[in-house]
């Protein structure tokens, strides 16, 4: 078992740089929601971020996590690379409030999401892809009040 150490050492990497690296290197996050009764649900969603402070994903309104967010907007998120060797993973943990963006909030979100989508080879997105006239998709956004990063060991405040 690896020993757990505090991030206070001068040789430890900057936790915020580690978090940015993890966020940039991955395409999916695990979104944890809960329904009205508190039953948890975790969903993988492709994401885009704006300045590491706002995260966007696109979901169908009837998906279980979307229905959960309609009644309980508090979320927990983890972003990590599951392909690394055991014990080598680094992760970003986020607690936040999420909201479904209305048509008026889509313009900036679509620009951010479309850039990321194109970079991942998934093509451009337009407003018509997520507008009220396209009921199968909606953009949700979080602006986390707390960001935490961790490698193997304790959570590091960031």
pLDDT tens by residue, 70-101: 999 999 999 998 888 888 888 999 888 888 87
Rg (CA), the chain: 17
Helix (H, G, I), strand (E, B) or coil at 75: strand
CATH of 15-157, one of 3.30.300.30, 1.10.3810.10, 2.30.110.10, 1.10.260.40: 2.30.110.10
* Domain layout of the chain by residue ranges: 15-157
**Could you tell me the two tokens for 51?**
């300045």
Residue 96 gets the label, from left (phi > 0), alpha (psi -120 to 50) or beta, of beta
**Could you tell me the two tokens for 157?**
């405040």
CA 35/CA 31 separation, integer angstroms: 13
**pLDDT one-digit tens code per residue, 115-148:** 888 888 887 777 777 766 665 566 666 655 544 4
CA 66/CA 41 separation, integer angstroms: 11
- pTM score, whole prediction: 0.78
């Amino acid at each position: 078992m690896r020993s757990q150490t505090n991030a206070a050492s001068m040789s430890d990497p900057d936790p915020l740089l580690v978090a940015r690296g993890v966020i940039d290197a991955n395409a999916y996050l695990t979104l944890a929601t809960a329904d009205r009764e508190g039953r948890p649900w975790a969903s993988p969603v492709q994401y885009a971020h704006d300045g590491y402070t706002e995260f966007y994903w696109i979901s169908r309104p009837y998906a279980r996590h979307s229905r959960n967010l309609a009644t309980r907007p508090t979320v927990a998120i983890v972003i990590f690379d599951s392909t690394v060797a055991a014990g080598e993973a680094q992760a970003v943990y986020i607690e936040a409030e999420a909201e479904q963006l209305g048509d008026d909030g889509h313009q900036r979100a679509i620009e951010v999401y479309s850039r990321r989508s194109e970079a991942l080879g998934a093509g451009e997105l337009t407003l018509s892809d997520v507008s009220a006239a396209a009921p199968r998709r909606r953009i949700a956004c979080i602006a986390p009040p707390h960001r935490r990063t961790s490698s193997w060991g304790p959570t590091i405040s960031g």
